[in-house]
Every structure is written in C-alpha cells, then in structure tokens.
Amino acid sequence: MPEIRVTVWNEFVHEKTKEAVKAVYPEGIHQAIAAYLSQQAGLLVRTATLDEPEQGLGEEVLANTDVLIWWGHAAHNEVRDEIVDRVQARILEGMGLIVLHSAHHSKIFKRMMGTSCNLQWREAAEKERLWVVDPSHPITRGLSRYIELPHTEMYGEPFDIPTPDKVIFISWFQGGEVFRSGCTWTRGKGKIFYFRPGHETFPIYYNPEILQVIGNAVRWAAFVGNSEVDLQVVNVEPLEDINS
Ligand code: ZN
C-alpha cells in the first residue's frame, strides 16, 4: 500500500507569543502531532505554517497531500481567500481534511460547512468525557468506551454545523453541557473529520488516546474512492440512439 502523505498545518501564533503556550508546545502544536504521526507505519508526514511562503499551502504542497490536518485560533482571518479556494478545490478532488478544536472557526471549515460553526464555550479547566457513540467507525479503533480528559476548555451545543454524515464522539462536560465532538462529512470526493479536543494551554496533543484518534482519522480520510470518475460539468453524447 502506498504511504499516506499527511500535512499538519498550524497557524503557529500562540506558541511564539504566549509563554503559557510555549511551555506546553515549545516546538508548536503541529510538531507535537507530527512527532506522533511520523512514528506510525504507512504515513509520510510534513508540517506547514502560516508564516511560510504561500502560507505553507502552495500548489506543490497540496498536490502532494492526501490528508490535511488544520489547527488555528488567533489568525483565522489572516489565511488568504485564494489559499482557502485552493484547499477547498483539493478537498473536492479527494483530499481528506481533519479540523481540530478552535479550527471550527477557520475559513476552510466554515467554507466546507456553509454555516457559522458557532458554539458555546468556557475556559475553566473542567473534566470532559468523550463517549464513543459509533464503535463501528474506524476512527474509534483501539479505544475503550470513552476518553477522559481531566482539564479541558468546554465547547457546548448548539454547534451550528450541517447534520453530519456520522457522529463518532459526544462529549460530556463537568459543567453540564454536551457537544458533538467527533463528526464526519463528505464534500465532493473528500472526507472531513472535525475533532474537538485541543486548546493551546492544555497538553491534550500528547494524550495517547487523542493521538490515536488523529492517526485513525488520517487513515480514514485518505482517498480510497474512484479516481477515474471526476466531478465535472460535461456536455455528453448519449450512449444509445435516442432519436429513433
Ligand atoms: Zn481553545
């Protein structure tokens, strides 16, 4: 089987500007995720950041990416619309997209969803339990019934997203809210997975179960469909004689 080419994109802003974030992710969130994925068989991993040429997402990078992981929070609006157009086009062609935590408000996720992607939130370092609600799904492989995170930022419903193809995880929070924490959609030939856990001041991207979900999601989101059939507007001749 050919390797799955993964690009971990991070705006990489908080880690350079806030000491509390630098203390948790000294090399950046993208490097923490890439360090795990690089150790997994069958994955070829690179990183990309906002401050690189073409905001890290030039034509060549995207053409050689099977699955794009997206982390952003402070700089959503700095991502240029032409880059969003380019990423969207690749997703419609079959590139997978994994959207993490605060990237619910990224331009690319809102573009792909078509809704506000608004939600409720509270930063109080409370407990979260992510329940596996679809154990048939490959993204849940290797997990137990739930993942428990001792200190998280709360995200609560209503989450303004279009009805997902599948809801994989539902979170319960100590403060009483619930949230659809793991959801999938298809857009064109591409698969999209939103995964809630994260936050720049909690060490969540070192948690083995969270990393396992991200690795499972990469394998799930990689294109395995029909590369012969393109989704294009084509004026076609009939296959049969329709004039007699
Ligand atoms: Zn957060």
Whole-number Å distance, alpha carbon 73 to ligand 1 midpoint, is 8
Beta bridge mates, 186: 191
Domain boundaries, given as residue ranges, for the chain: 4-117+181-221
134-188 pLDDT tens trace: 999 999 999 999 999 999 999 999 999 999 999 999 999 999 999 999 999 999 9
Do 215 and 37 form a contact (C-beta atoms < 8 A)? Answer: yes
Whole-number Å distance, alpha carbon 206 to ligand 1 midpoint, is 16
E-strand stretches of the chain: 4-10, 43-49, 67-71, 96-100, 120-132, 146-156, 166-173, 178-187, 190-195
Whole-number Å distance, alpha carbon 196 to ligand 1 midpoint, is 9
Report d(CA 171, CA 22) in Å as an integer. 27
Q: Is the pTM of this model over 0.95?
A: yes
Do 147 and 129 form a contact (C-beta atoms < 8 A)? Answer: yes
Whole-number Å distance, alpha carbon 153 to ligand 1 midpoint, is 6
| Burial of residue 240, with CB atoms counted within 10 A of its CB: 0-12 exposed, 13-18 middle, 19 or more buried | exposed
61-101 pLDDT tens trace: 999 999 999 999 999 999 999 999 999 999 999 999 999 99
Stronger pLDDT, 244 or 109, i.e. the higher one? 109
191-205 pLDDT tens trace: 999 999 999 999 999
Report d(CA 4, CA 66) in Å as an integer. 6
Whole-number Å distance, alpha carbon 102 to ligand 1 midpoint, is 5
Q: What is the pLDDT of residue 1?
A: 64
Three-point CA angle 137, 163, 211, nearest 5°: 40
CATH number for the domain formed by residue range(s) 4-117+181-221: 3.40.50.880
Whole-number Å distance, alpha carbon 238 to ligand 1 midpoint, is 54
Whole-number Å distance, alpha carbon 4 to ligand 1 midpoint, is 28
Whole-number Å distance, alpha carbon 198 to ligand 1 midpoint, is 6
Q: What is the pLDDT of residue 2?
A: 79
Could you give the dihedral angle defined by the CA atoms of residues 121, 124, 125 and 128, in that order, rounded to the nearest 10 degrees? -50
Whole-number Å distance, alpha carbon 202 to ligand 1 midpoint, is 9
Interval 96-110 mean pLDDT = 98
Q: What percent of the chain has pLDDT over 90?
A: 97
